[in-house]
Amino acid sequence: MIKLTDLIKEGKWRMSGGKYLTMPDGELSTIPKKSEGDAIIVNIGRDTFYIYLIQGNKPYAIGNKYDKEFKNGNDLANWLNKEKAKYLGIDDR
């Protein structure tokens, strides 16, 4: 028998509607703009990344060791899935 919690744990990062990021646990959030002062925080290995939008609608991830700019939200979601990113929350810098 499959439990609902097992399905949630197996979820993936997805973009929907062009501006909504769905986390693996099913939580939905917009990616904040840099000017808003907020960021989505994820953990990849031992590195923490703060994700927000720059230059209009380009996602950008700033990490402890390196930064990464993405073409679009789908590119970001693919990277988060590939790196097995863990969602930590929203930073309200």
In Å, what is the CA distance from 16 to each residue of 19, 46, 50, 93?
6, 28, 20, 25
Q: What is the model's pTM?
A: 0.83
Confidence class of residue 7 from pLDDT cuts 50, 70 and 90?
very low
Q: What is the pLDDT of residue 25?
A: 87
Closest to 58 measured CA to CA, from 24, 92, 15: 15
Residue 6 pLDDT greater than 70, yes or no: no
Q: What is the pLDDT of residue 8?
A: 44
Q: What is the pLDDT of residues 26-64, one digit of tens each?
A: 889 999 998 888 999 999 999 999 999 998 789 999 999
Q: What is the pLDDT of residue 58?
A: 92
Residue 35: how many CB atoms within 10 A of its CB? 9
